[in-house]
Structure formats: C-alpha cells, structure tokens
Chain A
Amino acid sequence: MPFASSRNRLFRALRWIAAMLVVGISVWVSHQPSRLPRPITEGPTAIADRNQSVARCAACHQEIVERMKAAPHLNTLTPATAPQLAGRFAGTFSDSERQREFRFFDGAEQLHVTTDGVEQPVTLHWVFGSGSHAQTPVSVQADARGQWRILQHAVSWYPDHGLDWTLGATDFGGEISGGLEANGQTDVEPLGLERHGDWVAPAETLACFRCHSAQLDPQRLAEPGGVQPGLGCIRCHVNAETHAAEQEGQVVDGLPPMLGWEVSAREHVDRCGECHRRADQTPTDEITPQANHIVRFASVGLVQSKCFTGSQRRSQLRMDCLTCHDPHQRASRSAAFYSAQCQQCHQRDDVAACPQQPDSQDCIGCHMQKRETQPHLSFTDHWIR
C-alpha cells in the first residue's frame, strides 16, 4: 500500500535521524573543551594593576583598604625599581673572612649588583619580603625552555643590621652545584652567576611568587606587568571580581562566586598556612616542642596548642588566626592587646584561668615567647604553652 510504504520510509528516515543525533550528541558532549582548575594566583585573566585592583575594592571598603596599604601582606614583594629600595641596598657589602664583596647600585632606576669574578652587573628584578624581618633581592631569568628561575641573591637587607648574608644561602650556586655538594664535593667553586647566589628551580620559583603576589602570569615573571606584587584583596578573596561586578550592577552570569571565609577554624588556619605552612604537610617527626625551626611557621604551632585543640572540642569557642590578627593591617605590638584576646576565653567559667597570673596584662611574655630561629631572625612562638 502506498500509505504503508511511505510510512515505512518515514520511520526509516526518523530512525536515521535519531541515530545521527545519538552520534552527534555523544561526540559533541565528550569533546566539549574544559579546563582543570588552576592555582588562584594564576588566573586566566590579565594581570590587574595592583593600584587599580585595590582601588576598585576601596569604593566600598575604603577603611579596610587604607589600613591595608601599610600592612606587610600588601608589601611582601616590591619591584626592584621602587625608589625606597635604593636607600636600603645601595652600597657595598664585604666579608673579609669569605673574601667576597658585593656592590649594589641604582642604575637606570633599577637595582643592580656586581661581584668579583663576574664581568657584567646583574640586574635585580624583585625584592622579596616586606622588611619586617628581612628583604632579599632576586633576579629572574627564563631558561632555554622558557621556564623562569629565581637567582636568590646572597645578600639581604635586615632592619637591624643592614646588608648581610642571606640566611640559608649555600654559596655553592644552589640548584646547579648544590647536588655536587650533596655528593660529597664540598670544595665546589661557584662559577659565573653562581657567585651571586642560589638558583631556584622553576616550580619553587613559582611557589615563591604565589605567596608573595596576588596574581601572576607564569610566563612573565620579570615584568612588573606580569605580576601583581603583594597580597592584594584578590589573593585571599578569590573571585572578588565577581563580587565587585555584582556591586557595580554588571551581569555576572557564569562567573565563579567569590570564595567565602565562613569556614571551620582549622580550614581557616590552613588557608593562612598555604603560605605560612600547614601542619598537615610538615613531617610529623619535625613537630616537637623542642623543634626550634617550626617556630617560624605560626600556623603549624598554633594548631598544636592546647588553646586551639580545646576550642575545637567546644562549639561555643573558636580560635583561628583572626582571633588575634587582622591580616589587613600590621600586627599589633601591644602585649595588652593580645592578653585581652586571651582573656576572652580564660575569664569564662568553663575555661581554666592562668594559675600563676590570672589577671596579667602580658600573657604572651610567658606563653608565646619570642625565639630566635636563625641569626637576625626572631619569631613569636605560636605553639601556646
């Protein structure tokens, strides 16, 4: 019958169309491009200018931004072109015992350094550290594969001592000849640029920048435009651009929401520990009350403290980094301020008071003493004991 025949043809056609749709959809879905998430500091967007970025936040949060400008967090990385650096570094550092001399000078509005045995002066690109404890100048250089490495200079600036040897500098060239030293060749002579300091491997180089900048382009570490130095707002308030756009009345569909900080106390400390070191990635045998070097890592010590572990067991108590520190401003130097924070818990009926001096205005003088971890460097021990 013609009708049946045409119906069959229609069914056949529909079957083919359905089948083609099956192929098309499955191949399309399976080949949909997607990206794995990246470190927050290596955002896909162009590196924003720090001043512009912070100014955008200042439109609503001016008071915080003003405080933030003086905070070490915002100043933990400085381009070597910054004028204030010349006063700290310009000059000569010499060590007669090691028979080494380094001459820093400001040329073409950028810091340079020379030393014996290397003909050309080396250009310094960045200075790491806010200056609260120290500042270390570095050069960055892309290797033949396009990966960036830091040449961590052998001389740093200290607030109390001026120029001195960088702590931990090997004087063996770091990555290149450090391996030789490990193999027992202790008389390795530094050659060429190694005489300026230690080369840092590409991955470690990126790790350094991740904790000293808000955003970076891993391909452009030598350029000021490739790095947003210092921990600006967007470093911790991830995807703050979405929040800003929302406030400015822009359409934000599809943009990731701003990362919230309504998290547990441990997660909070761990987030700070991303740069200040997390306890869970410190070898357990290193975490002992006697270990002096972990004093440098406040977030490791804090979570060992009885104050912290005790607060974890009580829902009405909470202790994290914000209990005592506002990351938007320089940490207080007042012992009374910190004692007041201690008293918030230790004046409660259900929390034990200090058996020695329950009303003291200097709790940290006994319970959080300053300890020298290396020459010129002292830190407050956050393992409260």
Chain B
Amino acid sequence: MFSVVKGRELTRSKRRKAAARPDDRPLLKVAPDEASSSSLASSSLASWAPWFALLAAARPVSAEDLWWHAARGREVLTSMTVSPARRLLLDQTTNETDWLGGVPLYLLFEAAGFVGVFAGKLLLAAALLGLLLKLTPRRTCLLVLLPAAALTVASPALLPGGRGIGLLCLAGLLAWRETTWKRRWQRSLVLAGLTCLWANGGPLFILAPVVVLLSFDDRSEIGIRELAITLLAGSITPRGFSGWGDSLRLAAPWLFEQSATLNDTSFAPLEISEPLSWLFAGFSAIGLLLLFGASRQRPGALAWMTATAAGLANAWLAPLAAIWLCGEALAAMPSKANVEPSDEPSEETRRETGAERGARGRVSAIVDWGVGGLAAVLLLAGGLGAIGSPHGWGMGVAAELEPRLLEQSIADSPRGAAWTWDAAATGAAAWCGLKPLDSPDRALVAGRLRGLRLAVDDLRYERRNRYLRSDGTWGGWWLWTRRAEQPLLWIVVSSRDVASLRALESTGFRPTSIDSPIIAHASSYEPQMAPAIVRLLPIRNAVAHEDWTYTPPYHGGLFYDLPHFMRWDAEQRLRQGRVFWGMKLPTAALRAITTAEVRFQPLRRDCYLDLASREKRVLGKPAIWTEAVLNMLTHGQPSLDPEDATTQAIRDAARVYIADGPKAALPLLMSATKPADRYAAAQLQLELGGAVAARDTLRTLVEAAPDDPHAVRARDALRLLP
C-alpha cells in the first residue's frame, strides 16, 4: 500500500529541507561514532519490538463497547441496514456515521467466537505496530519500547471494531504523511480511502482533518487540497456532512456538555486517580522529550499539544491520542540519515569542533535513554497494574464483559425495552436481544446525555417520582424511562456499578442473577417477568441465610496469566462481595471475603454499617460486636471508651478478626458465655457459612438470657435463619 522510505534513504522532509535550504543543517546533528553508541542501534534489538508489543496487547479484550459494536455489526449484516443503532435503540432517531464499525467484529465472532475476537485484537495490535514502525527508519531502544508503551495506553480501545478502526486509520494517516508518493493521485486516493474508511468505521474521524491541518507546511505537499479531500471523503457516510458535528461531539464533549453531565461516563476528563491518566501523562512526557530533541520542529509541537489536550479532556479519546503522540514522536526522532555525516558538510559544521560534536552526541544519548527509560517504566507500570486487575493479562474477553450468564438469566423471559446507561450494559443487552432505550455515545451525539445522566442520578438517589428541580425541569426516573411508550421490562446494569445495584433494590425491578457480570433486573410490575424474578429468590436467601460458602469460579488461564493460573482469587471475591453488598445482602458479602486482606476492609466496613443500621432500628443502637468491628476498622481499636460494655472476649476477637479473619476470631468467642459474646459468635458463624450453627447459638442465647437486649437482637436474627 505504501512506498515507504526505508533504511538509509532520506526521508521526505529531509529531502525537502535539503532542496529548500542547501546550507541548512539538521537541528540535531550527532557525530557518527557517538550516534552509533548512544542509540543502541542494532537490528537484533529492533526484532524484539513485536514481542514487546504482543505482551502489551496480550490482555483480554476489555473495550466496554465490545458487544454494542458486535450487535451493530450483526444488525448490518442480517437486516442489510445502514443505521443499525436506529434499529437497536428505542431512542435513536438519526443515522450514525460509523455504521460499519461492528461488521469485522461480528464476522470474527461468528467465525471463531471469543478466540476470533481476541485474535482480531492481536492482529490490530500487529498492524498498528507495523504502521508505527514505518514512521522512522531508525533502530533504537525507542523503536522497541515506544510503540509497545503506546499500545499499553491504547489497550482499552484495542478492538477490531469501533475505536479500534480509528486507531488503525490514524496510524495509517501518519504513515501516509511520512510517505513519498510517486504520483499525486495515488496520494489523494489513499488519503480519501483512509478517511472514508475511518468515517464509516470509527466514531472519532474528526481527528483526520486535524492531523492533516497540523501537517501543513509552506514547503509541504500537504495543504488545502488534502484538507478538502479529507473533508469530502469523511462526508461519504449515511450522515453526510452532519457526521462531522457528531464526531466533534464525541471527540470534544466538554464543548457541549457540563462536566457534571460527563462525570461517571466514558467521556469524562482523565482524572488523577485513574491509572490510565498516569500512563497517558507519562506517554505525553515522552512525546515532549522527543520533540525537544527533534530533527524538525514542524507540526510535531502543535500535534503533541492537541493530542495531549484532547486525551486529557476526554478519556474516551485518550487511546487514539496515545497512538497519535507515538506517531508524532517517532516521526520527529532524529533519523539515521540525520546523524550521519553529509558528503559536503556545511561551513558551520566544518567549524564545529570535535568537543561540540561530542556534546551533541551526549545530548542525543540522554534523550534516547531518557525516553527509552520512561517508555520502559510505562510498560512496567502498565504490566504491573495488569496483574490481578480485571484487565490483567490473559486471552479472550474480559470477565466483566462476559454475556453468557446474562443470556441465561433472561433466556425464558420476554425481550423488550431495557434501560441501560453504560456502554457495557447497553452492548450486552442489545447483543442478547433486548431493546435498549439509548446508548451513551448516541445520547451524547443527539444531545440526550444530560437527560440520561440526570435519570441515572435520580435512580441512584432513589428519586422515582416526579419532582421539580432547581432549574425548573422535572426529575424522577420512572417517567423518564416511560417515554418509549412501551412497558419497560428490564433495567440492565454492569455488576461493577454497585451504587445503581443498591438503588435498584428499593425499586420494583428485581435482579435475575447474582453472579452475572452484567445483571438484568426484571420489572415486577409485569406479570410475565415473574418467573425470572421468582427463580432467584431462593438463591438470594440461600447465599445470605442458609449454610453456604463462596467458591470463586475458575476461569482457566495461561502460565503468564499468573493470578488466574495460580487461582489468586481475591479480586474475584471482592467483585462478588461488592455485588452482594449492592444487592443489600451484607452477610453474603462477608461470606465472599472471609480472609483479612487489606483490600477487603472497606467492603467489610460497608457490610458492618448495614448490619449496624438494622440493629439500630431494632433497639436504637448497634450490637456491641458490630460496634467493636466498626471501631477497629475506623479507629484501630475495638472500643473508644474503656468503661463501656464491650467484653474482653469481644475486644480480643475484634482485633483478631481484623488481623486474621473470622476463622481465627471465632474460637475466642465460642469459649465466652456472655450474651454479647454469644451473639458475636453467631455472627461469625454466619459469616463463615454456618447458618445452622449460628441458629443454634442464637437459640441458646435466647433461652439462657431471654431478657437481655441481645436476646431481642437474636430473635430478630432468627427470623431470617432457616
């Protein structure tokens, strides 16, 4: 496709510069001996690049919009439509530009299932790597590490569809820019083809004219003509010229929406607390370092600024910005030709002393090693962050996007309108045949995101009924969901959205699964949904109030997917515990986290706060044991008042409980005889899965001390036990 300058040939810009300013010299000249020693030049080193890139890309597909694109691709092929979102969503009213974005993904899935999707991701990473490496002929440590680091940052969008197509087209555009073309029409044709593909396949094609615009140079072959071609080619979509506005909304949502609307969505600005922001900031710093030592000052600086700003202001765009930064950095690297002595050195060069040349070489070496080191740190940080994380190394599709349990949970229920608000839930719902009201990207494009965001806020604050807001608009989520003029049968939520799970417990929508990564809640107002709801009731009761212990499911895993391979299941336990807590099953949540790991303690505190709330409603204050555990978790000591009613057994047991877990603490309480101690022992027995044992302990307590306040608590607890 491209006739790329390779090896020792001069780059286009180098030739151009040489023709325009024969006496000019490269901005950074390196003495040949210094250059070779500083740049780690070696073809064997460069041959490691694919392996590093593979390592960076070898994580399960974690793009939230995976199933959304797959559903759109299926719709395009099965219904032969150019506006799949319109058919999939109840709210969608206009065509979308990127109607083809899901087709490759769907074809891959149809051909080889999850393996096909993962293979598509690897192929995409390989193609990206190939295009990026074409941007520079130099073989240095940067060449090995920089694209790999870029792939790490771009990982959330590495998908053979949607933004993934955008990644590929962006890298292709950068390679196009750095390529010398024999014929002008070839140049134009490739540019038009790339832009058209991007516009019809990926949502952020507004970046294409921006890249072209920032490549303008008064001596350049890129100018108004190329910009016009880009604008025209990008308009060949089902949305026509309006597509540019859609893409701008997606690329710079902060121009159109308040930050409060964007918070908690994929389009929020990068926050310091997110690991991705640190990776992105590090990557941006690499770009800056390279630009300072660049062989040419042209568009690089502006492009760096634009990419950095766009990525920082919109997390959804950060992966593309990373690839863009990588491309600009590689293109700005001093080329091998630059560091070689020219045949006819300039007067200035001839005057340059050996010491000055050596100094320049040292600067180059510092830049190389500095940038290489930073890229290595990024890779390492990305890799370490991946260990044990939901997006850790492995194959296939990330567990949190797994749609099969969702399919099972709704299998024998009617499909119909479903309210969703994040890309993962929307995609899974559409893939499983439900009819989502809206999707976040289409809502943003159509200006509906604020309404969606406010409705979600109303749900989380449990504001179901209509109420007047301070801005004169009407709030209340119930009527908002009913505007579709068909009964809302489902509310589908990602299991990590614990706040919404918890709020849904107070509504008429009941969960149909306790362990699906995407949980469908069925409407109890619709009689036909009853079987799906009723099926789960005994399961909910069993995990919280019967003899039961939690065993995390084994996902398999490979030797390099160490946490799964070694069955380090803390992350899985925590995830399930949070879901149970979200479903207002604090005892079940405690059963999922039975060890004393530090990462479990915040969830443990939340569970004990729930237990304390219930106890407080019965007798006006929490049980002594509950208070002791909460004191340990908050203040590091079981009792704030040495004179209070906390027994010595409870003081000791609470300390052991926090340090070593419930199993170690239970014997300390079993040997004690006071009602408070017995009540605490029963609580621990329940946590450890022994409902019958806990019941017996509580009955003994009620019989032994019927007038004690703990007997009242025991009778309250017994009402729930078998």
Contact = CB atoms under 8 A, between A and B. Distances in A.
B21 to A, nearest CB: 10
Interface string B679-722: 00000000000000000000000000000000010011001100
Nearest to B302: A19
Contact of A40 (B259, B457, B468): B468
Given A35-B260, A188-B719, A281-B465, A193 B479 contact: no
B16 to A, nearest CB: 16
A36 B454 contact: yes
B266 interface: no
Interface string B506-523: 100000000000000000
Contacts of B470: 37-40, 43, 238-239, 256
Contacts of A239: 470
A28 B306 CA distance: 14
Contact of A281 (B476, B525, B616): B476
B635 to A, nearest CB: 15
Nearest to B626: A144
A43 B467 CA distance: 13
Nearest to B303: A19
A185 B471 CA distance: 46
A237 B247 CA distance: 41
Nearest to A143: B613
Given A27-B312, A149-B617, A202 B259 contact: no
Interface in B573-601: none
B interface, over-half SS: helix
A167 interface: no
B136 to A, nearest CB: 22
Interface stretch (A83-91, A269-277, A361-369): A269-277
B674 interface: no
B468 A23 contact: no
Given A27-B313, A201-B506, A22 B467 contact: no
A192 B619 contact: yes
A348 interface: no
A35 B470 CA distance: 11
A139 to B, nearest CB: 10
B143 interface: no
A281 B506 contact: no
A194 B454 CA distance: 36
A25 B85 CA distance: 34
A197 to B, nearest CB: 11
Interface stretch (B192-200, B250-258, B353-361): B250-258
A168 interface: no
A193 B617 contact: yes
Contacts of B468: 39-40, 238, 259, 271, 274
Contacts of A337: none
Question: Which of A144, A177, A188 gathers most chain B CB within 10 Å?
Answer: A144
Interface string A1-43: 0000000000010011011101100110111111111111101
Interface string A143-186: 11101010000000000000000000000000111001000010
B301 A16 contact: yes
B618 A37 contact: no
Contacts of B372: none
Question: Which of A20, A199, A203 gathers most chain B CB within 10 Å?
Answer: A203
B269 A185 contact: no
B259 A191 contact: no
Contacts of A176: 614, 617-618, 716
A144 B312 contact: no
B466 A141 contact: no
Contacts of B301: 12, 15-16, 19
Contacts of B613: 143-145, 147
Given A26-B254, A37-B470, A144-B612, A281 B478 contact: yes
B455 to A, nearest CB: 11
A33 B259 CA distance: 6
B443 interface: no
Given A176-B614, A188-B719, A281-B466, A203 B620 contact: no
Question: Which of A33, A39, A176, A273 gathers most chain B CB within 10 Å?
Answer: A39
A26 to B, nearest CB: 4
Interface string A208-236: 00100000000000000000000000000
Nearest to A18: B302
B708 to A, nearest CB: 12
B472 interface: yes
Given A34-B260, A40-B469, A27 B454 contact: no
A43 B471 CA distance: 11
Given A37-B470, A144-B612, A202 B312 contact: no
A202 B262 CA distance: 27
Question: Which of B454, B468, B609, B618 gathers most chain A CB within 10 Å?
Answer: B468
B261 interface: yes
A347 to B, nearest CB: 35
Nearest to B271: A31
Contacts of A141: 616-617, 620
Contact of B466 (A23, A29, A273): A273
A283 interface: yes
Contacts of B482: 280
B469 A192 contact: no
B259 A32 contact: yes
A360 interface: no
A252 interface: no
B305 A144 contact: no
B460 to A, nearest CB: 10
Interface of B: 252, 254-255, 258-262, 269, 297, 301-302, 304-306, 308-310, 312-314, 453-454, 457, 461-476, 478-479, 482, 506, 525, 609-610, 612-614, 616-620, 622, 630, 712, 715-716, 719-720
Nearest 9 CB-CB pairings of A with B: A203-B462, A19-B305, A143-B613, A30-B254, A144-B612, A30-B313, A37-B469, A34-B258, A192-B618
Interface of A: 12, 15-16, 18-20, 22-23, 26-27, 29-41, 43, 120, 141, 143-145, 147, 149, 175-177, 180, 185, 188-189, 191-194, 199, 201-203, 207, 210, 238-239, 256, 259, 270-271, 273-274, 278, 280-281, 283
16 contacts: A12-B297, A23-B305, A27-B269, A36-B261, A36-B454, A38-B469, A145-B613, A175-B617, A189-B715, A192-B716, A193-B617, A193-B619, A210-B467, A270-B466, A274-B468, A280-B482
